[in-house]
Amino acid sequence: MEKIDIIESTAILVPVDNIDTDQIIPARFLKTTSREGFGEKLFYDWRFKADGTPVAGHPLEGQKGVILVAGNNFGCGSSREHAAWALHDAGIRAVVSSSFADIFRNNALNNCLLPVQVTEEYLARLTTVLKTAPGTVVRIDLGAQTLSVPGVGEAGFGINGYKKECLMKGYSDIDYLLADKDSILRYEATHRN
């Protein structure tokens, strides 16, 4: 699995609260049985009209980078991991918000997409700087658990030690669980549910 250490890039700013996973990837694109190709469908209905023509001035227009900065409560709604796949496939490696929906957070972590949670106050200042200076470079250091942006300053973010190690070394949860099947068999022998 891919590893995460330092992520440094210009940011894509989408300052909208409560971006749900139906916006990230609409349900009609979930019919495929593969994990590939969802990047093209990212925020599709914000980018394209019903007839497929582009929406002028949509929230992502003209922005480049591997870090997405969004409003509060990112990834709420449906559990579809396709949302994390779409972001990752589109090149995004970290999402910065003041809160993440629980299922999205897990899905992101399982796909080398780092959820970086900062305070509302920090997010507000970051948003202002990115609006006035769109090319500002954002630096995320997973080892130090910091986010630093010129003109905004540094913020720390939380992640548990286990998950941090997984991301930095490229380990996955399923490998951990498969390696520890004996514990599971022992549990089953003493519990009937």
Partner 1 sequence: MGKTLFDKIWESHVVKHIPDGPDVLYIDRHLVHEVTSPQAFSALKAKGLKVFRPEKTFATCDHNVPTLGQDRPIADESSRKAVEQLAVNTAENSIMYFPLGDPGNGIVHVVGPEQGIVLCGQTVVCGDSHTATHGAFGNIAFGIGTSEVEMVMAVQCLLQSKPRQARITVNGKLAVNVTPKDVILYIISRLGTDGCTGHFVEYAGEVFRDMSMEGRMTVCNMSIEMGAKGGIVAPDETTFRYIKGRRFAPSGEAFDASVAKWKTLKTDSDAVFDKEYEFDAADIRPMVTYGTNPGMGVPVDGVIPDSAAGCDEATFDKAMAYMGFRRGEQMAGKKIDYVFVGSCTNGRIEDFRVFAKAVNGRKKADDVIVWLVPGSKEVEAKIESEGIGDALRAAGFEIRQPGCSACLAMNADKIPAGKYAVSTSNRNFEGRQGYGARTILAGPLVAAEAAVTGRIGVPSVI
The footprint of partner 1 (CB under 8 A) covers 15-18, 20, 22-23, 26-28, 30-35, 45, 50, 71-73, 76-82, 84, 99-103, 106-107, 110-111, 160-163, 172-174, 176-178, 180-181, 183-184, 187-188, 191, 193
Kindly tell me which of 120 and 154 has the beta carbon lying closer to partner 1.
120
Residue 83 CB, nearest distance to partner 1 (Å)?
Answer: 9
| Nearest in space to 39 (alpha carbons), one of 87, 107, 80, 95 | 87
Using an 8 Å Cβ cutoff, are 114 and 140 in contact? yes
CB nearer to partner 1: pick between 1 and 137: 1
- Cα–Cα distance, 177 to 193 (Å, whole number): 20
**Least separation in angstroms between CB 147 and partner 1:** 20
Nearer to partner 1, 7 or 123 (CB): 123
Give me the numbers of helices (H) and strands (E) for the chain, helices first please. Answer: 8, 7
Distance between CA 117 and CA 122 in Å, rounded? 10
Least distance in angstroms from the C-beta of 105 to partner 1: 9
Q: What angle do CA 15, 95, 52 make, to 5 degrees?
A: 65
**Which CB, 117 or 148, lies closer to partner 1?**
117
